[in-house]
Amino acid sequence: MATAPAILVVSPVALQTARKIAQELDAALIHGFLREGESGAEYDLTFSNTAEHMRGLFEAGRPIIGVCAAGIIIRALAPLLSDKQSEPPVLAVSEDGSAVVPLLGGHHGANRLAKQLAEALDGTAAITTAGDTAFSAALDEVPEGYSIGNPQAAKPVMAALLAGEQLKINGEAGWLVGSDLPISDSGSQQLTVTPQAKTAADGELIIHPKTHIVGLGCARGCPLEEVEALLLSALERANIAIGAVAAFTSIDLKADETAFNGLSQKYGIPLRVFSAVELEKQASRLQNPSDVVFAEVGCHGVSEGAALAAVGTNGHLVLPKQKTANATIAIASCQTPISSNSIGRARGRLHVVGIGPGRDDWRTPEASQWLSAADEVVGYGLYLDLVAPLIKGKQRHAFPLGAEEERVRFALERAATGRNVALVCSGDSGIYAMGALVYELLDRDENNGGVSDAARRIEVASSPGVSAMVALSNRIGAPLGHDFCAISLSDLLTPWETIQQRVTGAAQGDFTIGFYNPVSMRRRTQLAWARDKLLEYRPAETPVVLGSNIGRPQEKLTITCLGALEVDQVDMLTTVLVGSSQSKTGGNGCFVYTPRGYAKKIDAQLEQEQTKEEAKL
């Protein structure tokens, strides 16, 4: 299973069973329901709302093992059920471990996992899918290295077998040895294992072994349509099904080629790349070597070389280089299915992840999914500690405060080696965090402090998080209810004169202001200056909200006013919200809000209606 399951516990009684499951499954974490007054130390991760937490995991594609009543899981996930082909496995395990029930994804790993857990727990796997119960096998669940050519035929073929008909197997299907399938050379139903493109007959299920590699080359910026047309014509000429292709391959200079990545995404086939040195080792095996290509990229052939490098010495070309005006393609094959992870390297990916304030239920499902899927994680040590359960067992690179550029550069270069790297930021990755620095380094020339060419070819994506300013506003009411801005008071990267101009402009514009980095060990005067400047434009009674460790157990919220704001009330972990002249404190000092003018609108409407009534009189 590609993603480690989450083991959910809603009652301490189930903890012992959950621990046995975690011991059986590497990297699986125990998520526990945290009751008031409990520390949650016995769990890897805690939650306070079972249904919301479960839905977040499900939407992130995370397999779920609930050590609880099946009804709890069903009621939580029922509104989300839509496409069974894309839904992750979900299992219910009784608290004593005696019963393991695959609820969803039976043929996508849940049945197999249920059997494994039942054996480990000395319990019973309550599998209800017809094929598994009757034949101990499912035709629509094939092992790694194979794909189903016509998945819509699996159900009717299995139904025919359950009705008493027999199955004829054409080709090698070793994974079905030991099953109770009614196999016969004269069977009316057929299972055909072949790499060839084939139109299925009635009652025939086609399985493709992934024994072929497609090597690609093209001019920079070649249209996807041109490459795809060449691919389809090449496969047709070689009589190879797209489902028999284990990977698209090319030279690493093409790792970011839009057409190749588009092709990979469209067909769900990974793109793997090789260096010019690795491709040149295939020079003696090429059918169409080119000195022009060698002069351009350092090897005598890209498409043929990439296909041959992937299949190794046990493989051979089945279709030499074919070309169009801007693209080339070659196909090689191997005797046995090929694991794409074992050839070349991936493009490399950097996910810039905003984790919010660090609170589990304030982190987006996408952020959790990216952290779980990462090979390595990079970040400030405190931020990595906040997501420790999600990155357990992963290679971790912690950097101190003040080493931001080194941190980002390191993450980019690690991704350039083909790894899936997560760069962890608190709050939102694009607000006073590492997102902007990532793109700045990618935009710089390498001779001017930029990153390597290989790092520029990686995939970069950012996941939003709850920012400190937004989190604080929601915790205390709605001080950001009308126009607002954010200003960092740190002069490490921005001249103090520029900061002063921005504070003055915000004061004149009467914005609610979120101050980040208000003080540090050495900076004690900037916040006082900002307070005094704001007092020139708004009353001393203007509400001010101070928040530190927002959303964490050590959370501290304070409501004061601009005239009473003291620097010693604020530390490095504090976010400061200063209201506009319209902001108000309400609820006997319990909340702060900034009205948008609805009351004025209502008053105007009432006045207008009153005027109309008076006119009638």
Residue 349: the pLDDT is 97
- Reported as a single tens digit per residue, the pLDDT across 41-82 is 899 888 888 998 898 888 878 899 999 999 999 999 999 988
Whether 391 contacts 374, CB under 8 Å: yes
Hey, is 204 helix, strand or coil?
A: strand
Range of the domain at 554: 469-598
Question: Which residue, of 342, 359, 385, is where some domain finishes?
Answer: 342
Give yes or no: residues 259 and 320 share one domain.
yes
Is 262 exposed, middle or buried (CB count within 10 Å of its CB: 0-12, 13-18, 19+)?
Answer: middle
Do 186 and 258 have their domain in common? no
For residue 330, what pLDDT is reported? 98
Whether residue 486 contacts residue 513, with contact meaning beta carbons closer than 8 Å, is answered with yes
**Looking at the predicted structure, is the pLDDT value of residue 569 above 90?**
yes
Q: Please report the pLDDT score of residue 604 as a whole number.
A: 59
Three-state secondary structure of 537-596: CCCCCCEEEEEECCCCCCCEEEEEEHHHCCHHHCCCCEEEEECCCCCEEECCCCEEECCC
Q: Name the residue with tokens 């404190």.
A: 585
pLDDT grade for 93, boundaries at 50, 70 and 90: very high
pLDDT over threshold 80, residue 107: no
pLDDT tier at 252, thresholds 50, 70, 90: very high
Look at residue 299 and tell me if it is in a domain.
yes
The reported pLDDT for the residue numbered 106 is: 76
pLDDT score for 150: 95
Q: How confident is the model at residue 97 (pLDDT cuts 50, 70, 90)?
A: very high
Locate all alpha helices (DSSP H) within 464-522, ordered by sequence: 468-476, 496-509
Give the model's pLDDT for residue 607.
66
Domain-terminating residue out of 410, 438, 466: 466
CA-based torsion, 97, 99, 105, 106: positive or negative? positive
Range 487-515 average pLDDT: 96
Is the pLDDT at 224 greater than 90? The verdict is: yes
Residues forming beta bridges with residue 487, ordered by sequence position: 515
State the CATH number of the domain containing residue 266. Answer: 3.30.420.180
Which of 194, 209, 224 terminates a domain? The answer is 209
Longest dimension (CA), the chain: 103
> Are 160 and 100 within one domain?
no
pLDDT at 52: 87
Write the CATH number for 419: 3.40.1010.10
Confidence band (pLDDT; 50, 70, 90) for 132? low
Residue range 359-375, pLDDT digits in tens: 777 888 889 889 988 99
444 with 476, same domain? no
Q: What is the pLDDT of residue 2?
A: 62
Q: What gap in Å lies between CA 462 and CA 204, rounded to an integer?
A: 44
**Contacts of 389 by beta carbon, 8 Å cutoff, 6+ apart:** 29, 44, 45
User: What's the CA gap between 332 and 320, in Å, rounded?
Assistant: 8
Distance CA 5, CA 31 (A): 10
Distances (CA, A) of 526 to 10, 499, 576, 588: 48, 9, 13, 31
Establish if 244 belongs to a structural domain: yes
Q: How far is CA 569 from CA 94, 275, 344, 471, 525, in A?
A: 51, 57, 56, 19, 13
Report DSSP state, residue 284.
G
Q: Considering the domain boundaries, does residue 139 fall inside one?
A: no
357 and 431 in one domain? yes
256 and 160 in one domain? Answer: no
**Taking 80 as the threshold, does the pLDDT of residue 154 lie above it?**
yes
Q: With beta carbons less than 8 A apart as the criterion, state whether 423 and 378 touch.
A: yes
Sheet containing 584-586: order of strands: 477-478, 591-593, 584-586
* Same domain, residue pair 462 and 473: no
pTM of the model: 0.82
Note whether 155 and 244 are same-domain residues: no
Interatomic CA distance for residues 426 and 384, integer angstroms: 9
Q: Tell me the pLDDT of the chain averaged across its residues.
A: 92
Does residue 598 carry a pLDDT above 70?
no
The three-state secondary structure class of 461 is strand
Please indicate, yes or no, if residue 608 is contained in any of the structural domains: no
- Residue 432 is predicted with a pLDDT of 93
Please state, in angstroms and rounded to a whole number, the distance separating the CA atoms of residues 98 and 96. 6
The mean pLDDT value for 124-142 works out to: 78
Query: Is pLDDT larger for residue 523 or for residue 207?
Result: 207
Kindly state the average pLDDT of the residues 33-41. Answer: 83
Contact yes or no for 559/589 (Cβ under 8 A): yes
Structure confidence by residue, pLDDT tens digits, 485-499: 999 999 988 999 999
Task: Report if residue 389 sits inside a domain.
Answer: yes
Classify residue 614: in a domain, yes or no.
no
Percent over 70 (pLDDT), the chain: 95
Inform me whether the pLDDT recorded for 613 exceeds 70.
no
CA distances, 29 to each of 5, 20, 35, 51, 62 (Å): 7, 11, 19, 18, 11
* Domain count along the chain: 5
In a domain, 615, yes or no: no
Q: Can you give the CATH number for the domain in which 85 is found?
A: 3.40.50.11220
Nearest to residue 25, comparing CAs of 112, 128, 123?
112
* pLDDT (mean) for 190-196: 97
- The C-alpha atoms of residue 321 and residue 302 are separated, in whole angstroms, by 9
User: Cα–Cα distance between 29 and 63 in angstroms, integer?
Assistant: 11
| Amino acid 194: pLDDT | 97
| pLDDT above 90 for 602 | no
State the pLDDT at residue 563: 96
Please give the average per-residue pLDDT across 408-421, as a whole number: 97
> What average pLDDT does this structure show over 571-587?
94
* Residue 605 pLDDT greater than 70, yes or no: no
Q: Determine, yes or no, domain membership for 424.
A: yes
Residue 494 belongs to a domain with what CATH number? Answer: 3.30.950.10
For residue 603, pLDDT beyond 60: no
| 333 and 358 within one domain | no
| Residue range 290-322, pLDDT digits in tens | 999 999 999 999 999 999 999 999 999 999 999
Q: Find the range with the poorest average confidence among 78-92, 247-261, 299-313.
A: 78-92
pLDDT, tens only, 446-485 = 888 889 999 999 999 999 999 999 999 999 999 999 999 9
Radius of gyration of the chain (CA): 30
Q: Tell me what pLDDT residue 37 has.
A: 78
In this structure, the answer to whether residues 287 and 353 fall within a common structural domain is no
pLDDT at 435: 96
Same domain assignment for residues 261 and 288: yes
Q: What is the pLDDT of residue 100?
A: 96
The two structure tokens encoding residue 20: 């046995």
Query: How are beta strands 45-47 and 29-33 bridged, if at all?
Result: parallel
Asked if 338 and 412 sit in the same domain, the reply is no
Candidates 309, 313, 305, 307; CA nearest to 289 is 305
